[in-house]
Structure 1
């Protein structure tokens, strides 16, 4: 037994310790299999210093572009003693390559966590990183049953067990077969702009947080809605005044039937124009309502006006379309807006976000990211992006920078 422990310790020392002298394998491309799949499925066991797992299995959702999106996060951990440069990532399903991110194309979708460099695609020894993935397909019939990932890694030196270049097959995961939740829109009327929605890496998608000992992405599909005026502006006049935002106080409506399980309504409004400092974590949602809409799914309506939920109480049954509050500027916010998302648990932080599709809306257009930034910071009118296929939508999810009209007055 002692001999066996020594052999294992020696192996770990070789893997985790300093690199040994280079061998002929220092230019070898090696196909490796992670422990997430049986070693017999792809040949003999191979050391994979960068290991991976999926934060939550993706649930397909149809976006306003007519395509089916699989939006999820891949967590990478460098278990070795050398820096690991992630040179490319491929997502595969049913024998097809669904995503291929290489070089500079990978950088916007990658973020190293914790200590060490936070730029590029390098993980220092012991460091973790996240890759945000948006695999798109033409129709629900094209959704694969499972996904595999190939992570291509470069190391400064080869060792006797690990080459300097490695292609690792990691984190095989099944696609969640549940349908996206179909709901009513939480707002009425024209020109609602999706300010931070799926599926690129906005502040919402980037908010993968360590909560209660787990990495969770409650805001994976969250949308911040602001309303444009007829000239395409978010506000007119002094941006620090709530009265400058014409849509401030818009009715917020229940998206489905269901019971209220949490209400906060007594927090003050923030001053627009800047995010509040020193806000406690439990006040990030501001005045809000959490509604149980059934089957382990919950709706979260945040940043409501103080006092606007006084008639809403825990245990109250709401019907789809019922007014539950007014759009405000409470909590972690720099301008009036409605933050809305669905989640798989009752806590708006300690849960994973799940996708949803609105029963119907009109896609009026999509704006450019640069013009949205100018509209939010300087009051400039937005500029329409070219090539957007506008028109009526049924059972789809608005995407980032979409401008939509919801049924209602």
Structure 2
């Protein structure tokens, strides 16, 4: 493999403590050097002047739907969508058909991703089999699962969750919890507040998340397990996490781009693209997410990419499925709503999309340090575009950002030093 030199870009690698104009030299698929005025004897040169060069983004929360719902998304279309968004590593959620609760499904997903040679796929296995008994965690980890989760549902049975955390600690595998008390949220189709009242829709109280976070933290603290809380949305929820972290609980947490940028007012007009789970909340919750990203309570921004059929999202709000796609808009949303508005400094925002999520699950990704795999994304942060889901690589057209103006797009992406996106086109 010939050497690659990415020259003259604004390189931001929080893990490597780099933030400035520099060159990145790649040799044999790994980072060789990062510095100014690098002059290798022979290398393919990519001029990144005026662009942002980062570690390939890492997304901890993606629904690829395969196996079972290939009409909504496939591993191939999902990983192509990731590359289009500058994401080189994704963690797939296990709510497939059959569910990812056994060795066979994990092997199938990893094998298919390897053969495709697109973005890197990491797999999360199920905590339980049908919410009734603990899945074979050692088998899942030994096959390649990097975490366990019942995402889409919480483990309601506290005793079952406690024993699951004990096994997760034994096998040293992170447990990701979907924080929701189902008996409280049952029937709720959006956030409980003035908008739900105006639309005449049953809402979900913030307590559904807050109480679930309290439960998960209390049990993880007792056991000493590694706990990661998915898609946090409430101000009181991040307060609980912040207090636990100060006590030394091994808990990390993520937030989605939509929950740091939009509120429940997006649901006005019965907009099913804004129907998601957990729901969009209120402005004070959005501001609390900003504070938590700044102070490190939330260390990861993850999309919760959830593709659905167009026909499903045309159903009445009460019965339309929950979720929005996000792989191809993630960076642009963060750039538009957080970086350009100076809610987060550039370096910190990139950290929350690279080394932060990688560290949460212990993934070998998210840095440009010498010796690391050369997973590199190049962005033009000033490109102005209007979101049109019909142009997506993803099969999903259900974007809550459809029609909105965003800034920033990936122009080039390398995985292991191999070009996968060139001039905005997936190769």
TM-score > 0.5 by shorter chain? no
Structure showing the higher strand proportion among its residues: 1
Which protein has greater RCO, CA pairs closer than 8 Å, 6+ apart? 2
Higher CA-based Rg:
1
Structure showing the higher helix proportion among its residues: 2
Q: Normalized against structure 2, the TM-score is what?
A: 0.24
